[in-house]
Every structure is written in structure tokens, then in C-alpha cells.
Amino acid sequence: MKILVLNCGSSSIKYQLFDIDQGSVLAKGIVEKIGLKGSFLKNERFDGDKVKLEGEILDHQSGFEFLLGMMISEKRGVISSLSEIDAVGHRLVHGGETFQGSCYLDEVTIKGVEDCSDLAPLHNPANLKGIYAMKNLLPDIPQVGVFDTSFHQTMPDYSFMYALPYSLYKKYGIRRYGFHGTSHSYVSKRACEILAVDYKSKKIITCHLGNGASITAIKDGKSLDTSMGLTPVEGLIMGTRSGDVDAGALTLIMEKEEIDYSSLNTLLNKHSGVLGISGISSDMREVETAAAEGDERAILSLKMYQYRVRKYIGAYAAAMGGVDILIFTGGIGENSPDDREKICENMEFLGLEFDKKVNTGVRGKELIISKKESRVTVMIVPTNEEWVIASETRDIVEQMKAGK
């Protein structure tokens, strides 16, 4: 079965074409600067063939025409006809309270995604552009939506509500939803598979530390709490996002700096986080290099970053009444031994005995990094969100075919 996985942004399309039965990626790449000057497509084929094609790509539909044309081209292609694509899986950002899991995209569910656009005005409309364009171009091929939010729909009300007037929840759906659901779900299940333990009886904390970062408490196979909220700004410190801030500080900043809603949004999403504190970069590698050279703000930003993750681990251990497995994933979680070590420092009171030696130098591979006698098993589990989307898409299409 060949499944095309799409992640559509406002001016970009990220894609991967999977041969899911073989467990392989036939081609992957990105169409960038859609509707802007200098648009291009970058593709990498399974055999390592790489190409960058420039062209005038005015909208998502022409971006897809460009990329599908390349997939069937004689020189660069990986399939001989578009009918070889069995299904399309879309990464969708916000499913609100409507979507508890992945779904087949028909008129009703597409309307449901449209209705969630108010909750994610930057993301859902861009995701929808991809759905509309693919419906036009490949009308006979089933499409499936996989939501960043749906894994967290198991959170209980006392965990997802904000202590704001209840009417705001009823009127606008103002509550915590959480994101990175495919990643938290995948790495937690994968860890239990590796350890050969029952997923549904474990207390797990998953740290997804990438440019965006979130941490989730998973109890008995269900998301109990997660650090991102109504939007992906809440919680951990991220590359350019602030994470938790006193709401009172925000109203004060708006008043003092005389800025409006949209400037505040930019400040919180693009100018804050590790970049905002260090003044150097949002890229952890650059900040770590500067810290190693003694840059004080870089050192401070790393300390704040690690401290925030530790605080959440403590909170989630309390929320679940303990923790059995702690997982690191995402670009930083998978590749930064130093951050993992600092985050796990002095956690013996929790029953966590970190193995510094095993952790040192390890990047991007599945590994247990706690000592044998540790009550909490600490692991690195590289995430693979596209693979999860492809397999969910296959499952939904197979269920449909079986008439379920």
C-alpha cells in the first residue's frame, strides 16, 4: 500500500510517500514559498537522488501538481501512475473537541475541520488548502485526517479547563487541547513494546523536545495532562515560544509597549523562548556552543529550559502518583545528551537513577539510559510522526474497505 503523507502550512507542503507494507519511504521533500517569489520543490528519493526544482508555484493546487508530476516523471519519479497512490494522510493541527481520533475525510468531517479553524487560525486553513487541492487532483483516492490534538482528548476536565469564566469555554471552546499527539502516542507505545510491558498499566512521561516542545503524562494508556494548551504556546520553553508566562505580565507588556493582539502574538511565538533569552538563536546547538564559550545569557537560557522540563516532570509524577517510564524524543530530546543529563539530575527521590555513562554521546537511537536498578526507566525513543500518520491512514482505509 502506498500512502502519501502531507503536512500543509500556509506557504509550504511537506510530504513523504510511504510504501507501508515494505516499511519504506519512496520519496520525501518540501514545496516552499508557495505564492511567493522564488518558490521551489526539494525532493529526495529512496536511492539518495536529490533535486531542487524552481518554478512559479502560485497556490497549493499548483504545488501539488508540481510534486505529483515529479513523482510520476521518468527521470525523478518513484511510481508510474498516480493511481498507485492508495491513500493520502493529512497532518491536521486542531480537531477541537470534535475529533477524538483520526478520520476519513468526507464532506461532514471536512466541515468539522473547517469549524475548528477559529481555534487554530494560522494552521487549520492551511491544512484545509491541502485537503481541497487533493480532492480536486485525486478525487478517487481516500483521504484521512490525523490530528495533533486527538490523543489528548482523554484529558479529564479538571486537567483541561482554565480557571477563567466558564462561559468562555461554552462560547468559544477556550480550554487546553494539547498538541504533538501523534508523537507522544507513538513514543510511549513504542517504549512499552521495547520493554515488553503492558501500555495500559503504566505511568509514562513523554518529553517531546524539538523546536516546539511539549511534555505529556500518560496513565493507563491515556493522556492525563499535557503542557501545551489552547495553542502551542503554553508549557515548556521552546525555540522561539515563551511557554508559561503570567497572563498579568502580558497585559502589562501590551500596555507599556503599546502593542496590539497581533504584535503580542508575534512576540510570544517568534521572539521569545530560547531565542528571546539568549539573543543568539532558537537552534539549541548554537546556544549550547555559545554557553560552552561562557556566554551568560546562553547559559541562563539553557538552565531555564532544563528547569522548566524538570518542574513538569515533578508535577506529572505527582499527578499520576508516580512514574514508571520517562521518554525523551524530538530533535533535542533525541540528540542532546547534556540536556537529558541536566533534566534528570538529582531525581533519585523519584526512584530515577540516571546512567550518565550510557547517555554520553548518544544521538537519535532507541536506548535505555537509566541504571538497571532504577525504578523509573529512562529512554530515548526517536519519534516518527509521518510514519504514525501513514499507519493511521492505512488502518482507517482498511476499516472502511471492510465496511466498519
| Residue in 19, 59, 148, 225 annotated catalytic | 148
Q: Are 328 and 207 in contact (CB under 8 A)?
A: yes
Q: Are 131 and 143 in contact (CB under 8 A)?
A: yes
Q: Which helix (DSSP H) or strand (DSSP E) does residue 54 occupy?
A: strand 50-54
Ranked by CB distance to ligand ADP, the top (closest) residue is 331
C-alpha cell at 59: 497556490
Residue closer to ligand ADP, measured from CB, 317 or 332: 332
In the complex, least distance from residue 208 CB atom to ligand ADP, rounded to whole angstroms: 8
Residue from 25, 128, 187, 332 binding ligand ADP (CB under 6 A): 332
In the complex, least distance from residue 363 CB atom to ligand ADP, rounded to whole angstroms: 6
Residues 141-170: x where in contact with ligand ADP by CB under 6 A, - otherwise, as a string: ------------------------------
Q: Is 211 in the site for ligand ADP (CB under 6 A)?
A: yes
Strands laid side by side in the 222-226 sheet: 222-226, 213-219, 203-209, 325-329, 377-380, 367-368
Residue closer to ligand ADP, measured from CB, 27 or 302: 302
Residue from 210, 232, 243, 276 binding ligand ADP (CB under 6 A): 210
**Torsions phi, psi for 261 (to 5 deg):** -55, -45
- Which span (24-32, 86-94, 205-213, 214-222) binds ligand ADP, by CB under 6 A? 205-213
How far is it, in rounded angstroms, from Cα 295 to Cα 376?
34
Q: Is 284 in the site for ligand ADP (CB under 6 A)?
A: yes
3 state DSSP class of 292: helix
Residue from 242, 335, 370, 377 binding ligand ADP (CB under 6 A): 335
Residue from 50, 111, 200, 285 binding ligand ADP (CB under 6 A): 285
Residue from 109, 149, 306, 336 binding ligand ADP (CB under 6 A): 336
Q: Is 212 in the site for ligand ADP (CB under 6 A)?
A: yes
Q: Please report how many Cα atoms fall inside a 13 Å half-sphere around the Cα of residue 346, on the Cβ side.
A: 5
Chain Cα centroid distance, residue 266: 20
Restricted to residues 350-389, the positions that interact with ligand ADP (CB under 6 A) are: 363
Residue from 71, 72, 28, 65 nearest 46 by CA: 28
Q: Are 214 and 328 in contact (CB under 8 A)?
A: no
Q: Are 45 and 55 in contact (CB under 8 A)?
A: no
- Which span (111-119, 195-203, 245-253, 277-285) binds ligand ADP, by CB under 6 A? 277-285
Spell out the residues 6+ positions from residue 92 whose beta carbon is closer than 8 angstroms to its own. Answer: 113, 124, 127, 145, 146, 147, 148
In the complex, least distance from residue 336 CB atom to ligand ADP, rounded to whole angstroms: 4
In the complex, least distance from residue 380 CB atom to ligand ADP, rounded to whole angstroms: 12
Residue closer to ligand ADP, measured from CB, 240 or 374: 240
In the complex, least distance from residue 329 CB atom to ligand ADP, rounded to whole angstroms: 8
Q: Is 330 in the site for ligand ADP (CB under 6 A)?
A: yes
Residue closer to ligand ADP, measured from CB, 359 or 374: 359
Residues pairing with 104 in the sheet: 144
C-alpha cell at 163: 480557571
- Which span (5-13, 141-149, 260-268, 324-332) binds ligand ADP, by CB under 6 A? 324-332
Q: Applying CB under 6 A, what is the total number of residues that bind ligand ADP?
A: 14
Q: Is 227 in the site for ligand ADP (CB under 6 A)?
A: no
Q: Are 211 and 238 in contact (CB under 8 A)?
A: yes
C-alpha cell at 186: 507513538
Restricted to residues 238-257, the positions that interact with ligand ADP (CB under 6 A) are: 239
C-alpha cell at 45: 528519493
Give yes or no: 47 in active site: no
Q: Are 188 and 206 in contact (CB under 8 A)?
A: yes
How far is it, in rounded angstroms, from Cα 231 to Cα 208?
16
Interacting residues with ligand ADP (CB under 6 A): 210-212, 239, 283-285, 288, 330-332, 335-336, 363
Which amino acids are annotated catalytic? 148
